[in-house]
Amino acid sequence: MGDNDCSLDSCCYNVMIRGFLRNSYTSKAMQLLTEMVGKGFCADIFTVTLFMDLILHSNRSILL
């Protein structure tokens, strides 16, 4: 998107991160989070919720 004169905002990052996490591309989601923060965007409640859901679902057997 950045190549087509479209600027990314935190909403765009969250949508892409959610897509990566839903498809088990955790490392790509983390790279995108790092890029997002590096460009001055804060991880908001939506971003944190995405990663918390990942942690809760991946560790479900530990929690039960």
| Exposure letters 14-53 (e unless 16+ CB within 10 A, then b) | bebbbebbeeeeeeebeebbeebeeeebebeeebeebbee
Scan for tokens 């479209």, then name that residue.
6
- Band (pLDDT 50/70/90 cuts) for residue 62 is very low
What's the pTM? 0.75
* Cα–Cα dist 33/19, whole Å: 13
Q: Please write the tens of the pLDDT for every residue from 12-54.
A: 999 999 999 889 898 999 999 999 999 999 889 999 998 888 8
